[in-house]
Structure 1
């Protein structure tokens, strides 16, 4: 494959709020952001840059013209400092010394610029913005390097037992919906991946498979996190499953969807092999296993235990058959009574 470093140099001095971002500029941005040795097809960029433009809009709406960054180049300069392992305070000092920073720029606006850059680099909802309320714990990077912060955020500590749990073929998004009545919500925030929202029994899934695939070859995430996340996507969106494919394609506008989620490779069914997502998988699978169908449709589709499913539907079929026979016999008796 060609080196991504061979991408022609394109000016990034255009507004960071432009939409859509021209494909040549997208290539230049990801060359700086992802630092991958390989060049990827342009369609890999499309879902990510939907996220990129949305995050820029959200942060600009929070701070307006007080936000010091004006161009993609400004974001790239901050990103380079973050990627090089600088601490939060060092990144802050770097931004304050940039030529495009005004003497009247507030510290709050500088913090917002840094947090926006981090969001774009890691696809993590870092920072606190007035118009971006999520209802969950905030991710606030206040000290140390961003790499250290990410390692602390994604802990490998396991606290739940998984004895008796099997990640079988019935454990995918469509079965969750049809059998157990789960809701499924797609997210662009990696930290929310596999979170089960108890209030409405909705599982949240990070679906940017292309972003993850690119970062298999970078070192901005802890070792194993990217591969493990892709393994969970292969589990929930099994390759070649037409039903899952149809469901995913209906979830949003085509430009928002990352079709590479449907080809994430081999499925890892050993729950003990997961570290970062172990506890969330345990909670999710436990809730899935103990949820009983509540409608005829759910009963019909629930084949998690074939030993129970076949006898149940044989019994129901016989019951319906005998009931039908009795109804016919009753009707014949009534007919004979009036027509001896």
Structure 2
């Protein structure tokens, strides 16, 4: 039987399972691969999303919802079953080539190693790295309050021989689009302090128009004052001519 997962979360008989999985976990083509610099990764911290955007961070059991941002709920979901990911990476996915396709991996009873690596890396190197004290403490609180997988805070640093050439920890073929959304949210976030609001106003199109109008009004005012001074000088000269001082 063939299935398709609709946007409403229901399954209908449209695609076979491999096609469904490929659609659910679409791998970006080479030109679309998202690469994060260290500065990019440092910017997308879980605690910064909360502090700057008041986003709610919520663990999910659905891998397909990893890094999914709900604008309506202002919530970011992240797949928290790190133990599951590590079990596959150290088990059936261990000897599978990093760039293996979905069909072959499913036949082996696992998911593509690259998908597994990206998921762990986006959690433990981007959102909640152990090197960031605030991020690490936040994950501890989330694990406790939401009853998440305790291995979220266990940084195994699992390695494999083909990891470096195939995945350098900064490029994302599966989750790049969602990471880019988070980057854009942080760049475009509404100003909160008076200083930020002033800076945004200074750089806005509306401000440019307002400055142009203000410049025009100042020019008109200066022109009126100049005409008034000229008229005053003419009147003074006329009075001096009509009533000369002996």
Structure with greater proportional strand content: 2
Answering whether residue 78 of structure 2 is matched by residue 205 of structure 1, we say yes
Give, in angstroms, the shift of residue 149 of structure 1.
3.0
Moved more, 188-197 or 149-158: 149-158
Q: TM (normalized to structure 2)?
A: 0.55
1:249 equivalent in structure 2: 140
Q: TM (normalized to structure 1)?
A: 0.41
Q: 1:274 to 1:252 in 2, by over 3 A?
A: closer
* Whole-angstrom distance in 2 between the partners of 1:289 and 1:268: 25
Contact kept in structure 1, 2:61 and 2:79, CA below 8 Å: yes
1:276 equivalent in structure 2: 174
What 5-or-longer segments of structure 1 have no aligned partner?
1-87, 90-114, 116-125, 129-135, 300-340
Answering whether residue 9 of structure 2 is matched by residue 138 of structure 1, we say yes
Contact kept in structure 2, 1:239 and 1:264, CA below 8 Å: no
* Whole-angstrom distance in 1 between the partners of 2:184 and 2:192: 18
Give, in angstroms, the shift of residue 198 of structure 1.
1.1
Q: 1:283 to 1:255 in 2, by over 3 A?
A: closer
Name the SS of the counterpart of 2:43 in structure 1: coil
2:157 equivalent in structure 1: 265
Deviations 1:185-227 (A, max 9, x none): 2111111111111123321111111111112133421341111
* Whole-angstrom distance in 1 between the partners of 2:174 and 2:115: 7
Contact kept in structure 2, 1:160 and 1:282, CA below 8 Å: no
* Whole-angstrom distance in 1 between the partners of 2:81 and 2:36: 31
2:63 equivalent in structure 1: 190
* Whole-angstrom distance in 2 between the partners of 1:279 and 1:153: 13
Deviations 1:58-87 (A, max 9, x none): xxxxxxxxxxxxxxxxxxxxxxxxxxxxxx
Name the SS of the counterpart of 2:78 in structure 1: strand
Give, in angstroms, the shift of residue 253 of structure 1.
4.7
Bigger relative contact order (CA 8 A; separation at least 6): 2
Name the SS of the counterpart of 2:111 in structure 1: coil
Name the SS of the counterpart of 1:224 in structure 2: helix
Deviations 1:278-316 (A, max 9, x none): 1111111111122145158xx8xxxxxxxxxxxxxxxxx
Answering whether residue 189 of structure 2 is matched by residue 291 of structure 1, we say yes
* Whole-angstrom distance in 2 between the partners of 1:139 and 1:155: 19
Give, in angstroms, the shift of residue 255 of structure 1.
8.6
Moved more, 171-180 or 218-227: 218-227
For residue 226 of structure 1, the aligned residue among 97, 113, 116 is 116
1:180 equivalent in structure 2: 53
Contact kept in structure 1, 2:65 and 2:78, CA below 8 Å: yes
1:55 equivalent in structure 2: none
1:109-124 correspondence runs (5 A): none
Contact kept in structure 2, 1:156 and 1:276, CA below 8 Å: yes
1:239 equivalent in structure 2: 130
